[in-house]
């Protein structure tokens, strides 16, 4: 077993660390307060190659591996997890399905402007009645002549309405199977298509420097060639997309947990009570030790799942395990960081208060902890 990173992986991690600490972290509190998507930061990230890390070089991406991508996501999330989800949703949810299932023509037209990160792409699955139960999709796409005509609405779609979003892949019901289950198909909708509109951005507890909106489709017609992959394979495509997404969300959680430990350590060294720094009390040392151990374990789980993906091994179970453990460890880390900061941590201007608000979403987005535990349990039973 070899835990050493390659030179390229080191490069991405160090580049992400330095950029995130210098250009993102000092602005994170303001971005959170103002609910601002930082377009200048995203442009710099595109320039440095982060926004296309795992996407094919032939279309302007960097062709990197998943381990390097997770290392970079962790560092960016450590500085601002909202910026990290913009990158993650763009690469893992938006562009990766275009890269994997798109035709040469679709890749040229839709992936190429996005793989460098100059433009963003979104993935629209969730609806009012289709959250965890994604099979409950109500949005329809009907083939009329040579066009797919889409009607329905999506909810909470990340990068759905930024100034640089080029389009969205929408999960649609294109029929009913003989067994009564819906036939789900992914369809590409460019941003300027008639009949496609976006609602206002949501006011959220966390990820406030990222963009989430409702999407509306009213007789929105796109050419037949905008079908992504195969008709009726949308559900299978989305399950595979989410496996990778879960590992990446795990990396976001590890980065946020690390930021909590960074803050906790700084406070433990400087806060004086009873004539000494609180870090000298064993109660505080135990909290720091628990945080560090859990972060180390979560990081290893994320990187192992990423390595399995890079190696071509099945990794669905490990992806779910990494996401559940990392998101829950991050929540515990945020809680302990605030405890170490005491009343000062409860003040809205403190970083740990921001982390405490932001951390929860990791247990919900891209599959809740409950559904991931069910996936793990089912796979264990199938193996046994
Ligand atoms: C900020 C944000 C960004 C998002 N970005 C995107 C995006 O880019 N694209 C996209 O398509 N979606 C996106 N989503 C949607 C996200 O993936 C869903 O919120 C998530 O899948 C859970 O669905 P839900 O919120 O409707 O919860 P529900 O499905 O209503 O679940 C509520 C509770 O019931 C539990 N539950 C449900 N079914 C079961 C079951 N069978 N067994 C046990 N427990 C169950 C859940 O675990 C949860 O605890 C985003 C959401 C948020 C909040």
pLDDT in tens, 96-123: 999 999 999 999 999 999 999 999 999 9
Last residue of a domain, one of 232, 248, 265: 232
What average pLDDT score do residues 291-314 get? 98
* pLDDT at position 135: 86
Range of the domain at 26: 7-119
Q: The domain that contains 242 carries what CATH number?
A: 1.20.140.10
Looking at residues 78-85, what average pLDDT do you find?
98
User: Using 50, 70 and 90 to split pLDDT, how confident is the model at 206?
Assistant: very high
CATH number at residue 207: 2.40.110.10
* Residue 100, H or E segment: helix 96-101
376 shares its domain with 289 = yes
Whether residues 244 and 201 fall in one domain = no
% of the chain residues with pLDDT over 70: 100
> Do residues 88 and 253 make contact, with C-beta atoms less than 8 angstroms apart?
no
- Cα separations in angstroms, 210 against 27, 132, 207, 227: 14, 22, 6, 28
The per-residue pLDDT of the chain, averaged, comes to: 97
One domain for residues 372 and 243: yes
Clarify whether residues 135 and 88 are in a common domain. no
Complete DSSP assignment for 25-52: GGGHHHHHHHT---HHHHHHHHHHTGGG
Ligand 1, atom 6, lies closest to the CA of: 157
CB atoms within 10 A of CB 268: 19
Indicate whether 130 and 200 sit together in one domain.
Answer: yes
Question: Is 300 within a domain?
Answer: yes
Residue 361 CB–ligand 1 contact under 6 Å: yes
- Give the end of a domain, one of 212, 232, 252: 232
Local confidence band at 174 (pLDDT 50, 70, 90 cut-offs) = very high
> Would the pLDDT of 141 be above 80?
yes
- Whether residue 367 is found in the same domain as residue 260: yes
Q: Hey, CA dihedral for 278, 283, 287, 290, is it positive or negative?
A: positive
pLDDT at residue number 237: 93
Distance CA 2, CA 9 (A): 14
Q: In testing the pocket of ligand 1, which one of 89, 126, 237 has its CB within 8 Å of the most ligand atoms? A: 126
Per residue in 315-372, pLDDT tens?
999 999 999 999 999 999 999 999 999 999 999 999 999 999 999 999 999 999 999 9
**Residues 84 and 190 placed together within one structural domain of the fold:** no
Q: Is the CB of 139 under 6 A from ligand 1?
A: no
On whether residue 272 sits in a domain, the answer given is yes
Shared domain for 86 and 130, answered yes or no, is no
Task: Report the relative pairing of strands 165-176 and 120-124 from DSSP bridges.
Answer: parallel
- Return the pLDDT at 287: 98
The answer to whether residue 41 is domain-embedded is yes
Confidence of residue 384 (pLDDT cuts 50, 70, 90): confident
In a domain, 1, yes or no: no
Q: Which residue puts its alpha carbon closest to atom 37 of ligand 1?
A: 132
In a shared domain, residues 372 and 334: yes
Write down which residue in 104, 119, 134 finishes a domain: 119
Asked whether residue 87 falls in the same domain as residue 131, the answer is: no
Q: Is the CB of 360 under 6 A from ligand 1?
A: no
C-alpha 203/C-alpha 87 separation (Å) is 20
Residue 230: is its pLDDT beyond 90? yes
Who contacts 106 (Cβ-Cβ below 8 Å, separation ≥6)?
A: 98, 188, 225, 226, 228
Cα-to-centroid distance, 321 and ligand 1 (Å): 17
Q: Tell me, what DSSP letter sits at residue 80?
A: -
pLDDT at 301: 98
| Ligand 1 in reach of 375 Cβ (< 6 A) | no
Q: What is the mean pLDDT of residues 294-310?
A: 98
pLDDT tens, position by position, 11-60: 999 999 999 999 999 999 999 999 999 999 999 999 999 999 999 999 99
Report yes or no on 129 lying in a domain: yes
- Whether 2 maps to a domain, the answer reads no
Q: For the chain, how many residues are written? A: 384
> Is residue 279 scored above 90 in pLDDT?
yes
326 close to 304: Cβ distance less than 8 angstroms: no
Say how many Å lie between the CA of residue 376 and the centre of ligand 1: 17
Nearest ligand 1 atom to alpha carbon 160: 8
Out of 344, 366, 370, 383, which one is annotated catalytic?
Answer: 366
202 and 242 inside one domain: no
Which residue shows structure tokens 């064993």? Answer: 282
The average pLDDT across 172-194 equals 95
User: Does the Cβ of 199 fall within 6 Å of ligand 1?
Assistant: no
Contacts 24+ apart (CB under 8 A), 126-130: 126/154, 126/155, 126/156, 126/157, 127/152, 127/153, 127/154, 127/155, 128/153, 128/155
Question: Does residue 193 belong to any structural domain of this protein?
Answer: yes
CATH code for the domain of 101? 1.10.540.10
> Between the CA atoms of 265, 347, 250 and 279, what dihedral angle is there, to the nearest 10 degrees?
20
Q: Which tokens in the block code for residue 183? A: 């036939």
Instruction: Look at residue 132 in the predicted model and tell me its pLDDT.
Output: 95
**Owner of token pair 């949810």:** 93
Do residues 298 and 254 make contact, with C-beta atoms less than 8 angstroms apart?
Answer: yes
CA-124 nearest atom, ligand 1:
11
Q: How far is the CA of 132 from the centre of ligand 1 (A)?
A: 5
- Say how many CA atoms lie within 13 Å of 63 toward its Cβ: 5
Number of structural domains (the chain) is: 3
With 80 as the cut, is the pLDDT of residue 248 above it? yes
Which of 239 and 361 is assigned the larger pLDDT? 361
Residue 255 and residue 334 in one domain = yes
The pLDDT value recorded for residue 1 is 87
Residue of the nearest CA to atom 48 in ligand 1? 368
Residue 366 known to be catalytic: yes
Q: How far apart are CA 324 and CA 294, in angstroms?
A: 12
């Amino acid at each position: 077993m070899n835990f050493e990173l390659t030179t390229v992986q080191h490069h991405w991690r160090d580049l992400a660390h330095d950029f995130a600490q210098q250009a993102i972290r000092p602005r994170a509190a303001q971005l959170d307060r103002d609910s601002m998507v930082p377009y200048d930061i995203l442009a710099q990230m595109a320039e440095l190659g982060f926004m296309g890390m795992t996407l094919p070089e032939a279309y302007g991406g960097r062709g990197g591996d998943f381990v390097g991508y997770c290392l970079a996501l962790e560092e960016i999330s450590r500085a601002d997890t909202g910026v990290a989800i913009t990158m993650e949703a763009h690469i893992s949810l938006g562009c990766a399905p275009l890269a994997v299932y798109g035709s040469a023509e679709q890749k040229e037209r839709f992936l190429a402007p996005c793989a460098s990160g100059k433009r963003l792409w979104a993935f629209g699955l969730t609806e009012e009645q289709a959250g965890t139960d994604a099979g409950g999709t109500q949005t329809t796409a009907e083939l009329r002549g040579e066009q797919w005509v889409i009607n329905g609405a999506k909810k909470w779609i990340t990068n759905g309405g930024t100034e640089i979003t080029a389009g969205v892949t929408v999960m649609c019901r294109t029929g009913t199977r003989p067994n009564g289950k819906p036939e789900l198909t992914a369809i590409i909708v460019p941003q300027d298509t008639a009949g496609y509109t976006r609602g206002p951005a949501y006011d959220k507890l966390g990820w406030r420097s990222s963009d989430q909106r409702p999407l509306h489709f009213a007789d929105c017609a796109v050419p037949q060639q905008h079908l992504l992959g195969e008709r009726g394979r949308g559900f299978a495509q989305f399950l595979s997309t989410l496996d990778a997404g879960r590992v990446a969300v795990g990396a976001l959680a590890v980065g946020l947990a690390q930021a909590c430990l960074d803050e906790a350590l700084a406070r433990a060294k400087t806060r004086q009570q009873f004539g000494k720094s609180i870090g000298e009390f064993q109660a505080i040392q135990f909290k720091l030790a628990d945080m560090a151990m859990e972060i180390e374990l979560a990081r290893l789980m994320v990187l192992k799942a990423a390595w399995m993906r890079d190696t071509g091994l099945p990794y669905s179970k490990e992806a779910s395990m990494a996401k559940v453990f990392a998101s829950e460890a991050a929540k515990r880390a945020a809680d302990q960081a605030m405890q170490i900061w005491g009343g000062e941590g409860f003040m809205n201007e403190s970083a740990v208060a921001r982390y405490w608000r932001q951390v929860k979403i990791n247990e919900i987005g891209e599959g809740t902890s409950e559904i991931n535990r069910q996936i793990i349990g089912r796979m264990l039973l199938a193996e046994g």
